């Protein structure tokens, strides 16, 4: 890495569109010497929805516009093998290097196996892994997000860990009070995933409304649409 890039790092942010990646964007922008220059999101090409979180691609576009950043979309087949995923992400890393990015940032919180996987996949690429919200106790982090103005809706949940009635709910103090005690406040173990629609990382809110839920592959997905629809 050159002395110039060491003083000023160009960052690609892995963007699920959920509260953790949104808060990671906020933290990164407050960190001297870092410039988030693009978002990176995987798309389920069969459903035209963001992978795992399950919200519409059009809402991803609205997030990127509100964040003032381009979004690199990585289409994934459905179902997607690990080999397919790694091949496509390797292409992303090559592109990032060509476009003079210095680092890739992730919104991971405490899962050591996920962090180790990120480190392994980026080793030798020339891209530095960054974990801006790593290690913050998730009860404190959840409250900080809410107090900081972040708003999000639950878009996907594991019904084995959280009742289906939570789908579509706003991530707020009332939700934290209602979560079963065994559920992580940020859903970091996969209990739930979210769509961030307002907060200091956005120039303006993204008004959405919850319509209904469906069950697919053992998970409950809540559909969000633009509030103007």
The C-alpha angle with vertex 179 and arms to 178 and 182, in degrees rounded to 5, equals 145
- 3-226: what fold? Rossmann fold (3.40.50)
5 has a pLDDT exceeding 90: no
pLDDT of 4: 41
Domain boundaries, the chain: 3-226
Q: How far apart are CA 42 and CA 48, in angstroms?
A: 10
> Of 143, 155, 144, nearest to 195 (Cα)?
155
What would the pLDDT profile of 79-127 be if each residue is shown by its tens digit? 889 999 999 999 999 999 999 999 999 999 999 999 999 999 999 999 9
Token couple for 15: 């963007």
What would the pLDDT profile of 26-79 be if each residue is shown by its tens digit? 999 999 999 999 999 999 988 899 999 999 999 999 999 999 999 999 999 888
């Amino acid at each position: 890495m050159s002395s110039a890039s060491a003083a000023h790092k160009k960052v690609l942010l892995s963007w699920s569109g959920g509260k953790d990646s949104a808060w990671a964007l906020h933290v990164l922008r407050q960190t001297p010497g870092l410039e988030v220059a693009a978002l990176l999101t995987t798309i389920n090409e069969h459903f035209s929805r963001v992978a795992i979180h399950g919200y519409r691609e059009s809402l991803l576009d609205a997030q990127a516009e509100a964040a003032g950043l381009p979004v690199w979309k990585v289409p994934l087949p459905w179902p997607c093998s690990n080999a397919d995923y790694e091949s496509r992400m390797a292409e992303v890393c090559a592109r990032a290097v060509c476009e003079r990015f210095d680092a890739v940032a992730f919104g991971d919180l405490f899962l050591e196996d996920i962090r180790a996987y990120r480190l392994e996949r980026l080793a030798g690429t020339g891209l530095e892994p960054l974990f801006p919200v790593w290690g913050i106790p998730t009860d404190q982090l959840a409250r900080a997000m809410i107090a900081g103005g972040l708003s999000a809706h639950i878009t996907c949940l594991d019904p084995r860990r959280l009742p289906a009635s939570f789908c579509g709910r706003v991530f707020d103090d009332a939700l934290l009070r209602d979560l079963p005690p065994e559920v992580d406040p940020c859903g970091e173990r996969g209990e739930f995933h979210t769509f961030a629609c307002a907060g200091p990382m956005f120039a303006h809110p993204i008004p959405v409304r919850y319509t209904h839920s469906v069950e697919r592959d053992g998970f409950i997905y809540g559909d969000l649409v633009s509030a103007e629809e």
